[in-house]
Amino acid sequence: MFNLFNRLNKCFTVLISVLISVLILPQACTAAAKQKPATLLDIETHWARQQVEKIYALGLVSGYPDYTFRPDQQVNCLEAITMILNSCGYKEQIAKVKQVKNAPPSEYPVPWGQNYLDFALEKRFIPQGIMEIFQYDRPINRAETAAILTRVFGLTTQGNPHQFIDTNSIPETYLAAVQTVYREKIMLCYPDGSFQPLKPILRSELAATLSQAYDQGWINIEPKYKINGWISRVSEDKKDLKIEISSLKESITAAANTDCPCYFQGERFSIKKAVNYRINGILDTNKKIAYLELLEKRNFDQIKNSTYASFINLAEGEPVIMSVKDMLNNGATFPVAWDATIIDEKSKNKNPAAINIFKQLKPDQFIKIGLTENKTIKSITILDIKTTSGKVESIGRSLSLEHKTSSGSTGIKYKPFSFLYWDNARVVDKDGNNTSVKKGDSVNIYYIGEPLYENILEIKVTK
């Protein structure tokens, strides 16, 4: 009878291990798993719905087999350790750890997740205070969670302390960690200004914490699962929504479920009404949109001034910064609007949204930029530059070249030889420095415009 009981107990332990693994360990830490609903069933009215749906789309949690999340359930020590390690990208590393033959049993045996616990102990991610009273299924409190997060993220615990209304109740060993995660906006305090360090953390609170960590850049996913830009069109077929998303780099069309989570300023928002909104999104492993967050709506600022310039470089960031040389050969930098229109006069592709300015623009390329009142680039035109060269024959109201003809005779290609308003052009030497031009100089001329209406942008004096 005892043997039978022992065997049943072992079977029960294995069953619990498998079940917990399904509930806690996400199928993929890079994005949402393939076959699962767009959202969970028991969070519709919960305060943490957005945060839960975000980390669910990220694949950091999988929910329960009945597609619930149970947001108000307490998180135990082993669950917290596992979820945090998975969120920080340690899943594959832990899976690759080889078990040593004849190794002594762990000092802290657990019915599931033994490799996670051993890994965390080896890396010293768990404070000694937790291990001194360790029980894998004991609810973990907020201060202990803060301590583990600080160690896993490698946060510096120095900085100006924040005064919570219950700072005196934070255990001394965890005070620096609590202050650190609050300073880094990973864990937040309650509306009344308290941290409640000894309160067991709930699944919804841990979800909000991981969501905050992702927003602050402490949790990363592969770039192929991120999508950003602005929504230029939304259409619907029999099963899905088709969303066209444009950016300064590309224009793509991605599918989304009709109930795909979409938020603006913390509130659920209809994707069908999201045209002209700037977005950050998450793709699942099928390259389908699993989550959208609307950041701001296009403002359609009017272009107040257009100017010619030559391109120097682009600096990626928020916003993108473009460096150019103006027509006086002076350097200038301008922010580029995230919804700036881009036209390539020479390209056969007439779809401006399909142009990647990071690849299309080359140093010294002439462009026309449209600037708003606050000096933000709202439009970029890559100019179709034509060139001619020769020796200057005369300079006056117009600049004329020797031995050039604009004859329209059959078989003779048109080349302009006389240019009005040449003094509006940039004049440089072969090294790109400002200079002057005079009769007899050999020059290269860069211009735009139709025959007889040429507009010189640059005169380069070669000798």
pLDDT value of position 214: 96
DSSP string, 283-343: E-TTS-EEEEEEEEE---PPP-EEEEEEEEEEE-SSSEEEEEE-TTS-EEEEEEEEEEEEE
Q: Which residues of the chain fall short of a pLDDT of 70?
A: 1-38, 102, 348-354, 403-412
Q: What local confidence, expressed as pLDDT, does residue 159 receive? A: 79
User: Cα separations (Å) of 375 from 308, 326, 410?
Assistant: 14, 14, 47
- Determine the pLDDT at residue 160: 83
Predicted confidence at residue 350, as pLDDT, reads 55
Closest CA to 459 of 444, 440, 439: 444
d(CA 243, CA 275): 9
pLDDT in tens, 367-416: 999 999 999 999 999 999 999 999 999 999 999 998 655 555 555 677 88
pLDDT 10s digits, 337-363: 999 999 999 875 555 556 788 888 999
- The pLDDT assigned to 429 comes to 95
* Residue 14 pLDDT: 41
How large a percentage of the chain has pLDDT more than 70? 88
pTM check: above 0.85: no
- Taken in order of first residue, the domains within the chain and their CATH numbers are 11-215 (no CATH), 223-297 (2.40.50.140), 305-382 (2.40.50.140), 386-461 (2.40.50)
324, 311 contact by CB (below 8 A)? yes
Q: Tokens 């841990």 — which residue?
A: 206
Beta bridge pairs of residue 289: 256, 283
